Amino acid sequence: MPETTRLLIDRWKQDPNGTYQSWFLWPERLKNFRSIRRGIGQVIKEIDEGTFGNVYRGSSLQTVVASIAEQRQIFKGADHAFLWKPKLRIPDIYEDRDNQRAFGRLLHACDCCTKEADVLQAIRTLETKGIKGLGPAAANLLYFIHPTIVVPFNTAIVKGYNALTGAAVKLGRWDHYLAMRQGLIEFNQRHRDLLSNDLGAVAGLMFDLGMERYPLPPAEGDAKATDAWAKDLAAVREETAAFAKQLDKNRVSDEGHTEVQGWLRDLGLALGFSVWIASNDQSRPYGGGRLADGCLTVLPQALQNEGADAVRLIDVIWLERESGAVVAAFEVEHTTSIYSGIVRLLDLALSGGAAQRHHLFLVAPDEREADVRQQVLRPAFSQVRELNIRYLPYGELRQHREAIARFGAGIKPVEAIARMF
């Protein structure tokens, strides 16, 4: 099996519709790590202070889990495990304060520790509590804290692992999860040159196997079966219609996001500002060149602080040419999580310690206005609302950007077409 397994991994990595290409290498995936971790910190804080409440909907937990669930198909449905099921009284972290605190201690321990042994100890400590309905799905939260230690978990990943290894991992059991995790780490180490230190890669492979995107390798030594399997694997170059449609949607989404960043880049330069493009978007093609053409290559020293990693990922920032002071920041939320963009803007506002009064904009399609407002008005974002964050619709930007570039001055014309919350 080793050679056929390596062939499988190689084919999976080349498949444009597989999770490796469509999710693991997706630039937005890395941008969301810090914001999700920050959201987990908010959950910890509210549980510790006794302000978390006893409902899921509208809670800080729903906000962060929803952001995880938006991480393309591999995490679709990640919120199901946390939805309150009143007839079953699960997961029992809403009505039982002791269980809620135990859940908070798990998140806190993993957020603070750096060693594998400490993460495993925190999981085992939670396991001893036997909290009804709170199973290994919680590992999806921990993955965004420790991607090199914790493996994501869902039905398809388990199904793929069982099919490949012949194991019998069961859903909902922490001991089964830990055994699967150990098996995947060993598998990852055997094929480390093809996979990644980030366990999201090997989890993505198991997910696609569980979704039956690829035929499983045959037993080693069966030449006829191996030949037939190789032909089947080679045939898996095209996705089913549903997957292909989703890929096209994702590609159009990325292109639309880049186009709006380009509008903001050109408008900022026309108004006389220096412009910063998110570090992971700078090389994207745009207008016959690169998106970052004519823009800053390094952030000013004033922004080189603890939150600099998040600030570098803000889609577009306008700065004064002489002083390097931030004038405005824009997060373009074409289809991705609005939550993550809000957190990055907050990081910028707090980059100097106390909140700075920058001009902050969430830029999104006109039809997403209700979604943007719903997110900003969440109780968890009360601090953000105090910063006078604005919603800038695509339609207004598309209609007025050329006139503003030609006749405008400063930030006021942009404020005029944006909407307050």
pLDDT tens sequence across 288-332: 899 999 999 998 887 876 667 778 889 999 999 989 989 999 999
If one compares 354 and 205, the residue with the highest pLDDT of the two is: 205
Residue 206 has pLDDT above 90, yes or no: yes
Q: Work out the pLDDT band at 77, boundaries 50, 70, 90.
A: confident
The reply to whether 223 falls in a domain is: no
Asked if 208 and 282 sit in the same domain, the reply is no
Measured between alpha carbons, how far is 334 from 270 in angstroms, rounded to an integer? Answer: 24
Q: Is the pLDDT of residue 88 over 50?
A: yes
pLDDT exceeds cutoff 60 at 254? no
What does the pLDDT read at residue 377? 77
Residue 49: pLDDT band (50, 70, 90) is: very high
- Element (H or E) spanning 62, and its range? helix 60-69
Residue 71 domain flag = yes
289-290 vs 285-286, strand pairing mode = antiparallel
The per-residue pLDDT for 310 is: 77
Report yes or no on 82 lying in a domain: yes
Q: 245: pLDDT confidence band, cut at 50, 70 and 90?
A: very low
pTM strictly above 0.75: no
Q: How confident is the model at residue 232 (pLDDT cuts 50, 70, 90)?
A: very low
pLDDT at 197: 96
Q: Based on the domain organization, do 201 and 301 belong to the same domain?
A: no
Say if CB 305 and CB 356 are below 8 A apart.
Answer: no
Q: Judge if 33 and 138 occupy the same domain.
A: yes
Q: In what helix (H) or strand (E) does residue 403 lie, and over which residues does it extend?
A: helix 394-407
Q: Is residue 314 part of a domain?
A: yes
**Are residues 129 and 268 located together in one domain of the fold?**
no
Residues 294 and 350 in one domain: yes
- What pLDDT does 238 receive? 43
Q: 377 and 276, same structural domain?
A: yes
Among 165, 190, 212, identify where a domain stops: 212
Residues 206 and 255 in one domain: no
Q: Tell whether 276 and 208 lie within a shared domain.
A: no
Domain membership of residue 65 as a residue range = 18-212
- Do 274 and 183 share a structural domain? no
Q: What total number of domains does the chain contain?
A: 2
The residues near 210 (Cβ < 8 Å, ≥ 6 apart) are 155, 156, 157, 158, 159, 160, 161, 163
Q: What is the pLDDT of residue 373?
A: 84
Give the domain-ending residue among 162, 186, 212.
212
* Alpha helices per DSSP H over 97-145: 97-112, 116-129, 139-143
Name the least confident of 142-151, 175-184, 237-246: 237-246
Return the SS3 of 99: helix
Domain identity same for 208 and 267:
no
Half-sphere exposure of 115 (CA within 13 A, CB side): 3
Summarised one tens digit per residue, pLDDT across range 94-107 is: 999 999 999 999 99
Q: What percent of the chain has pLDDT over 70?
A: 86
pLDDT at 233: 47
Predicted local confidence at residue 59, as pLDDT: 87
Residues 195 and 261 in one domain: no
> Are 56 and 108 contained in the same domain?
yes
1 pLDDT band, cuts 50/70/90, is: low
Strand bridging mode 419-420 / 359-364: unpaired
- What count of Cα atoms within 13 Å lies in the side-chain half-sphere of residue 95? 12
Using the predicted structure, report yes or no on whether residue 251 has a pLDDT greater than 60: no
How much of the chain exceeds pLDDT 90, in percent?
52
What number is the average pLDDT over the span 252-270? 85
Q: Is residue 231 part of a domain?
A: no
Of 185, 212, 239, the last residue of a domain is 212
Residue 236 maps to a domain:
no
Per the domain annotation, does 31 fall within a domain? yes
Q: What is the mean pLDDT of the chain?
A: 85
pLDDT for res 222:
55
